[in-house]
Amino acid sequence: MNVFIRELKFHRKSLIMWSIAIFFMIVSSIGKFTAYAETGQSMNELLSQIPSSIKAVLGMGNFDLTKLSGFYGMLYLYLLLLATVHASLLGATIISKEERDKTTEFLMVKPISRVGIITAKIFAALFNIVVFNLITLIFSITLMGKYAQGENITSEICVLMLGMFILQLMFLFIGTATAAVSRRPKKAASASTTVLLICFIISSVINMNSKLEPLKYITPFEYFKADKLLNGGGFEPIFLFLSFVIIAVLMFISYVFYKKRDLNI
């Protein structure tokens, strides 16, 4: 069986489950938005009493939560967490699962090089995160659009999904690089999610203490924040550059170490 097709079939159920999780997160959030919208300005006055650092950690920023665009800006942080955890686990699993499951013989008997194997695996992983991103985009536009009350936020959602996709790529290749380097395939997924957790904690600490803002360059969660993307800041060139450098380096590490490693049988 073709490696690419085999990987798609293997991760099909996982993709469906993650998509269902996204669906329920958006649906459950709609109820909160309707409650915020009904309270009107009083909700914004109440939220203004919350310290800005706490609001930043919770993803609220300076959004007007009584408007759909502002509420979706807050929701974006939680969608982003789901997307990046999925990408990180996918990257680690797709590289290490044969060693983990003791099915390495399947790859060894194939008339295909190591480079060909990892390329097929990476393309399968990319297909998965593209589908995940598109599903999130479609659910967001259709479900949130029903409560837009004349407000069109399609363009804002598309911008946020682009930022999400770049972060998905980064954490996907953090996963593949971790799995390629690690000598313990069973630990690859937990190691990659640990990296993600550290990045998120650093981002939260930065939001609570503005003096630590110079650290924003070391955590991808600070690269494409909803408040900057939606409030006219757009994509900062330095973060786009860093993102693609990180992706390229991690991809290089994945190929080099996977090609050299001794696969455990």
**Across 49-64, average pLDDT:** 67
Task: Convert the pLDDT of each residue in 160-169 to its tens digit.
Answer: 999 999 999 9
The pLDDT mean for the chain works out to: 84
Predicted local distance difference test score (pLDDT) of residue 31: 77
* 229: containing domain: 3-260
134 HSE (CA, 13 A, CB side): 8
Task: Please give the Cα distance from 62 to 74 (Å, whole number).
Answer: 9
Per the model's pLDDT, the better-predicted residue between 247 and 155 turns out to be 247
* Structural domain total, the chain: 1
Per the model's pLDDT, the better-predicted residue between 234 and 126 turns out to be 126
Task: Please give the Cα distance from 161 to 65 (Å, whole number).
Answer: 19
**79: pLDDT strictly greater than 60:** yes
Residue closest to 160 by CA, chosen among 29, 69, 49, 51: 69
**70: pLDDT strictly greater than 90:** no
Task: Please give the Cα distance from 264 to 47 (Å, whole number).
Answer: 54
**199: pLDDT strictly greater than 70:** yes
Predicted local distance difference test score (pLDDT) of residue 18: 95
Q: Which long-range contacts (CB under 8 A, 24 or more apart) does 27-32 make?
A: 27/143, 29/71, 29/75, 29/78, 30/143, 30/144, 30/146, 30/147, 32/71
**Across 3-21, average pLDDT:** 91
Predicted local distance difference test score (pLDDT) of residue 33: 75
**28: pLDDT strictly greater than 60:** yes
Q: What DSSP state is assigned to residue 110?
A: S
Note whether residue 67 is domain-resident: yes
Predicted local distance difference test score (pLDDT) of residue 107: 58
Note whether residue 265 is domain-resident: no
Note whether residue 253 is domain-resident: yes
Structure tokens at 165: 């996709």
**Maximum Cα interatomic distance, the chain, rounded to a whole number of Å:** 67
Task: Please give the Cα distance from 179 to 247 (Å, whole number).
Answer: 15
Note whether residue 243 is domain-resident: yes
Task: Convert the pLDDT of each residue in 87-144 to its tens digit.
Answer: 999 999 998 876 665 555 555 556 678 888 889 999 999 999 999 999 999 999 998 8
Note whether residue 28 is domain-resident: yes
Note whether residue 85 is domain-resident: yes
